[in-house]
């Protein structure tokens, strides 16, 4: 072989090495599966809850709520199997890639959040069905406590990894992403789903409900104070660096989540204590009593108004950022659009609680309008995701970007 032929073959080998390797569809699905996909389960779950609690009823609404519940249920099982398989097959690689990426690390909170929404739906839909009953109340109760522990472990894991790897500053001293609030929103979700189970589960006893209520109030404290500290850093980056990059601008809606979810949580928990008389049924000590339940409810509604007000400010800032990016022709659909639905859904849940507390048609109208917007956005996101999956640009990407690094 001549020297020229050797050089030509060397160039061909180098070009072949620099090209991403083709993978089978199954391997591509498993190897690249990101925890961001659990956000879709979260969204289906919150849509189901909102439809189930919608103040203005019509025929078929219960069916739509049940369909969303089944989407959440089926996808959570499927996605969990895929995600666990990724760790079973690619243990070190999967762990390193997720913990080295602050967005994937933050989205780990989406997994237990999706589980918690599912547990509350078991209480809302299954336990109250004619074929359900108290047995499914117990199922929801056990699922919730498991989810609460899971969420707490995830909360500590995410922040410990961020401290150990100093990931909050990003690569090269980058900005803190809005998704850093996902763990705080997850802790608040423990409280909100706890309030739903303590209030609406079929024939739940005060003995079962009160521990949920007390523990959930503790979770609200963790969520609110964690979010408050992180809001300071996020606002600093907004003031000094402007809006986030166009691709992740929709993730700014996550900033509305912790306070919106906390506003919903304390109303549901205090309603369980007062309206559903869980404190009266338990009746131990001066705090867990019927006399304490009513003032607790009034105070919680007042505090919820404060939290919902600030949550609305963050939602409006995120909306303005989206509109500005659209006018600059920098806005295109990405998976971060799925980050819009659940945080706004938490604020919508708070609006529904305000409507009940104040018997207000205005709050009911706002709640219904937000639910309609979220359902439309959910369908739009589903259409875009399906299109990108068919094109091979999402979920099943046959070209492996890791191959060049490995070579």
Instruction: Kindly give, in sequence order, each residue whose CB lies less than 8 Å from that of residue 18, ignoring residues fewer than 6 positions away.
Output: 404, 407
How far apart CA 202 and CA 198 sit, in angstroms, is 9
- CA angle, corner 43, sides to 305 and 369, nearest 5? 50
Residue 321 is classified by DSSP as: H
Q: What residues in the chain have per-residue pLDDT under 70? A: 1-21, 167-174, 403-407
- Tell me the domains of the chain and their CATH numbers: 25-401 (1.50.10.150)
Give pLDDT, residue 168.
56
Give pLDDT, residue 164.
86
Give pLDDT, residue 15.
45
Q: How far is CA 203 from CA 5, 27, 88, 136, 143, in A?
A: 82, 46, 41, 10, 17
Give pLDDT, residue 392.
87
Statement: the pTM of the whole predicted model exceeds 0.95: no
Give pLDDT, residue 172.
38
How far apart CA 87 and CA 31 sit, in angstroms, is 9
Q: How far is CA 217 from CA 77, 156, 372, in A?
A: 29, 18, 30
Q: How far is CA 245 from CA 168, 248, 312, 353, 370, in A?
A: 16, 6, 22, 35, 26
Give pLDDT, residue 170.
45
Give pLDDT, residue 378.
97
Give pLDDT, residue 399.
86
Encoded tokens for 301: 């509604």
């Amino acid at each position: 072989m001549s020297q020229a032929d050797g050089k030509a073959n060397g160039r061909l080998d180098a070009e072949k090495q620099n090209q991403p390797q083709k993978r089978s569809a199954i391997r591509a699905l498993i190897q690249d599966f990101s925890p961001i996909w659990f956000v879709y389960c979260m969204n289906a779950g919150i849509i189901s809850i909102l439809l189930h609690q919608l103040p203005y009823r019509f025929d078929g609404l219960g069916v739509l709520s049940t369909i969303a519940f089944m989407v959440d249920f089926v996808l959570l099982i499927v996605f969990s199997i895929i995600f666990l398989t990724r760790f079973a097959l690619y243990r070190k690689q999967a762990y390193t890639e997720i913990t080295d990426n602050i967005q994937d690390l933050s989205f780990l909170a989406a997994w237990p959040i999706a589980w918690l929404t599912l547990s509350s739906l078991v209480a809302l839909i299954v336990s109250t069905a004619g074929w359900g009953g108290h047995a499914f109340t117990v199922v929801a109760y056990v699922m919730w406590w498991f989810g609460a522990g899971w969420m707490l472990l995830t909360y500590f894991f995410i922040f410990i990894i961020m401290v150990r790897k100093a990931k909050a500053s990003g690569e090269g001293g980058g900005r803190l992403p809005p998704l850093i609030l996902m763990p705080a929103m997850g802790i608040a979700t423990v409280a909100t789903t706890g309030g739903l189970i303590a209030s609406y589960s079929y024939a739940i006893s005060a003995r079962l409900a009160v521990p949920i209520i007390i523990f959930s109030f503790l979770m609200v404290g963790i969520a609110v104070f964690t979010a408050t500290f992180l809001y300071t850093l996020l606002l600093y980056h907004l003031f000094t660096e402007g809006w986030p990059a166009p691709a992740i601008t929709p993730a700014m809606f996550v900033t509305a989540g912790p306070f919106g979810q906390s506003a919903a949580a304390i109303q549901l928990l205090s309603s369980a204590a007062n309206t559903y008389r869980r404190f009266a049924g338990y009746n131990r000590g001066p705090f867990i009593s019927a006399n304490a339940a009513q003032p607790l409810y009034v105070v919680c509604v007042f505090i919820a108004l404060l939290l919902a007000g600030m949550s609305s400010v963050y939602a409006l800032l995120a909306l303005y950022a989206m509109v500005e990016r659209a006018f600059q022709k920098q806005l295109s659909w990405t998976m971060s659009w799925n980050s819009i639905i659940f945080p706004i859904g938490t604020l919508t849940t708070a609006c529904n609680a305000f409507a009940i507390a104040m018997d207000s048609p205005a709050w009911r109208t706002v709640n219904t309008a937000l639910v309609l917007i979220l359902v439309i956005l959910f369908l739009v996101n589903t259409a875009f995701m399906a299109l990108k999956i068919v094109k091979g640009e999402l979920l099943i990407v046959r070209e492996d970007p890791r191959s060049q690094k490995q070579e």
